[in-house]
């Protein structure tokens, strides 16, 4: 084993700078081919026309041969109908607005549940912080799908929550929470909660505890100290956590599909239906491009925050 490693090392070493080039080039080319190029294709097809064929879209570029003149022309057809449909049909606009709304509510729920958790863990004795954080991340390692599935049994009529409410005398008869926007809020905040707690905890944990002591020493009451010292200093964590929850929530498909009702419109579902049910690839592509446009600003903020944090380290 050791011999093989050093032989490999020797070969690579002889390659010198070339080896360094390979290290960059392999992931670079892979991501170009399987990440960047696909986008350009999606962008292109979003201007195409849906046809009944295999694949079900009209080629963008066509050779036109004029037999009389004996010439051949290259024709590029850019079709804006798909985008006009997106702006013309209420369904799409509603789906976009609803996606943003659901993502915002999810983010806020995660923040309200996650901030006190992160704060409590950061204040716990150092030896206990690791295990407590571990407990937050643990569910992430089990299947996302299964965690959503767990809520079906809890939220459905005659489910656990319904029975509890009935038993407590709050409601009479079964309550159906499943297949509503609220089920989607609960399911999504459940799945994305670790993404909120993690960055919050890391900012709160880094905070110098003597800052609060200094504030107290200067006559500041604990709650006021929290508002004027802790909260402003944890803003980077709040921003990072909120973006980590908000961005994937907007494009979420599985949760609204499983927990939401038929009227829980989200853009991910619309895209899925256009593609799988209607087999309209060009419109699905246009929906994807439009979804990306919605996400460009938050993604850029996220990248900026990431880059700044990387520099500080």
Partner 1 sequence: MKRIGFLSWALWFGYAFLYVPIVLLVVYSFNESRLVTVWGGFSTKWYGELMNNDALLSAAGLSLQVAAVSATLSVILGTCAGMAMSRFGRFRGRTLFGGLITAPLVMPEVITGLSLLLLFVAMEQLIGWPDGRGVTTITIAHTTFTASYVAVVVQSRLAGMDGSLEEAAMDLGARPAKVFFVITLPIIAPALVAGWLLAFTLSLDDVVVASFVSGPGSTTLPMVIFSSVKFGISPQINALATLMILLVAAGIFVASIVMTRQDRQRKRDEQMALQTG
Residue 229 as a binder of partner 1 (CB under 8 A): the answer is no
Among candidate residues 64, 35, 88, 55, the one with its CA nearest the CA of residue 282 = 55
Residue 96 as a binder of partner 1 (CB under 8 A): the answer is no
The Cα 36–Cα 228 span in angstroms is: 44
Phi (first) and psi of residue 173, to 5 degrees: 90, 165
For partner 1, what does the binding mask look like between residues 251 and 280, x meaning CB under 8 A?
Answer: xxxx--xx---------x--xx--xx----
Q: State the CB neighbour count (10 A cutoff) for residue 2.
A: 6
What's the min distance (Å) between Cβ of 309 and partner 1?
Answer: 10
Residue 141 as a binder of partner 1 (CB under 8 A): the answer is yes
Residue 64 as a binder of partner 1 (CB under 8 A): the answer is no
Cβ–Cβ < 8 Å for 270, 256: no
What is the total residue count of the chain?
Answer: 313
Residue 285 as a binder of partner 1 (CB under 8 A): the answer is yes
C-beta closer to partner 1: residue 93 or 160? 160
C-beta closer to partner 1: residue 142 or 171? 142
Footprint of partner 1 on residues 186-205 (CB under 8 A)?
Answer: 190, 193, 197
C-beta closer to partner 1: residue 41 or 235? 41
* Sign of the four-CA dihedral 194, 200, 205, 209: negative
Cβ–Cβ < 8 Å for 102, 266: yes
User: What are the C-alpha distances in Å from 184 to residues 1, 40, 110?
Assistant: 52, 32, 13
Concatenating the DSSP letter of every residue in 281-299 gives: HHHHHHHHHHHHHHHHHHH
Footprint of partner 1 on residues 293-312 (CB under 8 A)?
Answer: 295, 299, 302-303, 306-307, 310
Binds partner 1 by CB under 8 A, chosen from 39, 51, 97, 293: 39
Residue 150 as a binder of partner 1 (CB under 8 A): the answer is yes
Phi (first) and psi of residue 101, to 5 degrees: -60, -50
Binds partner 1 by CB under 8 A, chosen from 60, 105, 154, 220: 154
The Cα 82–Cα 88 span in angstroms is: 10
Residue 49 as a binder of partner 1 (CB under 8 A): the answer is no
Residue 92 as a binder of partner 1 (CB under 8 A): the answer is no
Binds partner 1 by CB under 8 A, chosen from 86, 111, 121, 175: 121
Residue 114 as a binder of partner 1 (CB under 8 A): the answer is yes
């Amino acid at each position: 084993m050791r011999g093989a490693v050093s032989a490999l090392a020797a070969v690579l070493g002889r390659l010198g700078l070339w080896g360094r080039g390979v290290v960059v080039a392999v992931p670079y080319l892979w991501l170009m081919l399987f990440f960047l190029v696909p986008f350009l294709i999606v962008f292109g097809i979003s201007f195409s026309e849906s046809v009944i064929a295999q694949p079900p879209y009209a080629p963008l570029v066509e050779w036109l041969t004029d037999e009389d003149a004996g010439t051949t022309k290259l024709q590029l057809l850019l079709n804006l109908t798909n985008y006009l449909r997106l702006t013309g049909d209420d369904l799409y606009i509603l789906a976009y607005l609803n996606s943003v709304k659901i993502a915002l509510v999810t983010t806020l729920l995660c923040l309200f549940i996650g901030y006190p958790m992160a704060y409590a863990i950061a204040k716990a004795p150092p030896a206990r912080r690791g295990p407590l954080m571990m407990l937050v991340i643990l569910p992430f390692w089990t299947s996302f799908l299964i965690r959503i599935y767990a809520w079906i049994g809890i939220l459905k009529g005659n489910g656990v929550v319904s029975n509890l409410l009935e038993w407590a005398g709050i409601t009479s008869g079964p309550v159906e929470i499943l297949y509503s926007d609220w089920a989607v809020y609960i399911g999504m905040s459940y799945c994305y909660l670790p993404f909120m707690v993690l960055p919050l905890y890391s900012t709160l944990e880094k905070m110098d505890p003597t800052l609060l002591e200094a504030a107290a020493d200067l006559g500041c009451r604990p709650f006021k100290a929290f508002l004027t010292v802790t909260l402003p200093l944890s803003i980077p964590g709040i921003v990072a956590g909120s973006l980590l929850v908000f961005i994937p929530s907007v494009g979420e498909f599985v949760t609204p599909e499983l927990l939401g009702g038929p009227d829980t419109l989200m853009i991910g579902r619309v895209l899925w239906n256009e593609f799988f049910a209607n087999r309209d690839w060009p419109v699905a592509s246009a929906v994807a491009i439009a979804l990306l446009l919605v996400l460009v600003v938050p993604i850029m903020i996220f990248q900026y925050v990431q880059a700044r944090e990387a520099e500080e380290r």
